[in-house]
């Protein structure tokens, strides 16, 4: 949700939203809203996707 709030804040400020939108995309992929559907992945593949999403988020 923080990334979504950042998109809104950037829009209101007239700033570039690209970085915040990239964070929204990464979060949605990590939780399975985008990319390979979670039900088509093995439990190990889902876990790896979640862990990668957390890893990427820690870099912010």
State pLDDT tens for residues 1-60.
888 999 999 999 999 999 999 989 888 888 888 888 889 999 999 999 888 878 766 655
pLDDT at position 43 is 94
> Which residue's structure tokens are 């700033």?
15
The dihedral sign for the CA sequence 51, 4, 21, 31: positive
- The CA distance from 51 to 60, in Å, is 15
Query: How far apart are alpha carbons 54 and 56 in whole angstroms?
Result: 5
pLDDT of residue 16: 96
Q: State the pLDDT at residue 1.
A: 81
Domain segments of the chain: what residues? 2-58
């Amino acid at each position: 949700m923080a990334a979504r709030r950042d998109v809104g804040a950037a829009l209101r400020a007239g700033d570039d939203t690209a970085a915040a939108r990239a964070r929204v995309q990464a979060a949605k992929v990590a939780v399975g809203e985008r990319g390979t559907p979670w039900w088509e992945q093995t439990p190990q593949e889902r876990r790896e996707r979640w862990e990668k999403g957390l890893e990427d988020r820690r870099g912010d």
